[in-house]
Structure 1
């Protein structure tokens, strides 16, 4: 059996934030969410989160995780003290305990799988994750033999000159035989500079102790301040871009674009500079996105082009064109072949196949039938000061420039609205609708003197 414990009790003072450190966002997910995701493939029987600072807030943020157990550490007196809090909830548990840190979000699931496999195969009491750093200053050195057996861990300040030349460091990720760990946890002592109980001290009490060296040292990067948060963001973004480029996506300027884990691309998509994807997005094959786009929780059908546009909780059908300078707000639904052009805003509206809204228009709370042509400057006036109302425009209709449709209103099929009209009543199919003042011309006008 396997239990996973995530240490998430710290305040994170150096973040200088009202938000707990483990709730800081990284590529669209919190740090602790990324740590929890990294161990999902291991299918642990128990998952425990050790909380302390703003414990209730952390717990509320993870309410969607079924079966996640919360263990309170109060006060926070070191990593060893944190794991001591598991003695009661894990009483009678037999198996392995994987200990992760809530501020180390870049671990790959494959690495944790290898750590667990090494631990089980070696029969070790503890197996720790290690890494080799070009500059190991400040890290505890792991002194180990060629067979992977750990002799001991020496803190940097206690190292001899020879030991400081060792660049193998402790990553702070452990896999324990729980029963053996539980037997030594009460023996931890706080006679150190910080006056805390260190989980590291258990390694010297357990035998045999083994280690697994991680291939990519970036995986064990911890986050203590905003600089390290930005560094981890850069690593994660590079991973995401490299993954999708291998899957057939072209980034013309990869470093200028940012992705989320929830974004999915088809093949032969071209992403141009300064495009950003947030939340869950589905981009169909053959699309061109950008330059200068922001997509959040949106879908784009195959062969569509999105240029200098913002899409939030919107969907665009295949072979459509959106932009430049277009905003699709939540509830915007564009079907196949739609064209939405410059300085157009669409909100909570459905556009059927082949609709064109090419210039300077606002379409809100509306349903447009197939092949509707919306003239420049057309506005659906959907708000009466209290409630929102819908506008319905039948297939094949067209509006002239600077038209205002005051909702609730329904225009039938193949209606023509004259330019400059303000309509307040329904219009039957096949009609011409005009709602403007009669033009008055005074010849030989000299104006007031």
Structure 2
């Protein structure tokens, strides 16, 4: 299909009252993306020249949330008067357009790209005026029924409430996804009327005036599920998570107890990664080959280099170069960059810092706003005192420097290379290369000392 022959319209103007939320329904999240972003992701096998989103309720919020999604055009539907009325709002924007229009719903997030590709192929190969996505479902209650001949040419669409008892036995239902020849649609769309109890303009009403119209069944009925409440949102997430995890396992990723693991649709995994139970991978995370993640990890918007091990730890907005060992109970956050073959141990927090290759922060330490060189060894209980109550200040530690246990480095401070810091030191001044630095109060021993209340002398 040529790239100038297809426009996409996503209906996203509704509030979604049954979600019981101030957030527009299409902005609720499903496996790491908004419902609307999941719908847009289903376009992966087609090449539209225009992508239009029809917005209404909280339109500015929807536009702001999707501001980073390229090539979207937003069309305002001031009053929400039905699907036909929504598509009518496209008439000025598509003036002079002569290709096909694919209409999607912003609350139907489980469509597969190959399903839409098949639907468009059928539409073009048969020269259809309209093509409808349908599905055969076990319980069609509430859905409009689509009646076709043996060639899947649509003869009639009947809403559930208007079906006779024999008609209700038909399990082919309307998914509400349409492909129109825009020129053919324009012969009837402007004349669409709201002749119904709801006083709304229904897109299905144009079908009876178009010919030919064909149906295409989705292979998996779950693809057409719409989201109207939080229960359906959770059910859709289960379906999408099952898909995501199956795809990764078939791509060479080991998931141990997959039911306990969640993986966002935006995560990228390489073969020979092992994901242990109770691990959650979110956002734009990349896990490279040979990694073992978990049990009990949260990794968010981070890149984990090859052959890294994470155990019971949280890594957010950070990068590990590879060959690193992290945890248990470590927390990396806010643009941490860890070099190769580093060790970050239990109860260590690192924030907005850079660690050189083969640097170790083994336990019970806080490193913030710091730059550590290669082969630095941070002793237990070391902290960088980076905050003076008003501003954050940097700490710099040179290559091969060792900090003794319970050291405090009061920023801003620079410690050179090949420095040994004595245990219990508090450093407030810069330290030159190649030296021992000790900063302690003299030890005092007072024999036979007791608290006054123990001595009983007043």
TM-score bracket, normalised by the shorter chain, equals over 0.9
Matched, 1:322 2:322: no
Matched, 1:393 2:411: no
Residue among 360, 367, 370 paired with 1:363: 367
Q: Which aligned pairs between 1:272-287 and structure 2 lie closer than 5 A?
A: 272-287=276-291
Deviation (angstroms), 1:278: 1.2
Matched, 1:302 2:296: no
> How far apart are the structure 2 equivalents of 1:15 and 1:47?
26
Please name the residue that 1:17 is paired with.
Answer: 21
Matched, 1:373 2:377: yes
Query: TM-score w.r.t. structure 2 length?
Result: 0.95
Q: Which aligned pairs between 1:27-426 and structure 2 lie closer than 5 A?
A: 27-426=31-430
SS of 1:43's partner is: coil
SS of 2:175's partner is: strand
> How far apart are the structure 2 equivalents of 1:354 and 1:53?
53
> How far apart are the structure 2 equivalents of 1:30 and 1:446?
66
SS of 1:57's partner is: helix
In structure 1, runs of 5+ residues without a counterpart are none
Which 10-residue stretch deviates more, 141-150 or 388-397? 388-397
Please name the residue that 1:8 is paired with.
Answer: 12
Which 10-residue stretch deviates more, 65-74 or 334-343? 65-74
> How far apart are the structure 2 equivalents of 1:240 and 1:218?
14
> How far apart are the structure 2 equivalents of 1:437 and 1:404?
14
> How far apart are the structure 1 equivalents of 2:256 and 2:156?
49
Segments of 4+ moved more than 4 angstroms: none
> How far apart are the structure 2 equivalents of 1:416 and 1:152?
84
SS of 1:396's partner is: coil
Which 10-residue stretch deviates more, 86-95 or 219-228? 86-95
In structure 2, runs of 5+ residues without a counterpart are none
Count of residue pairs the alignment pairs up: 449
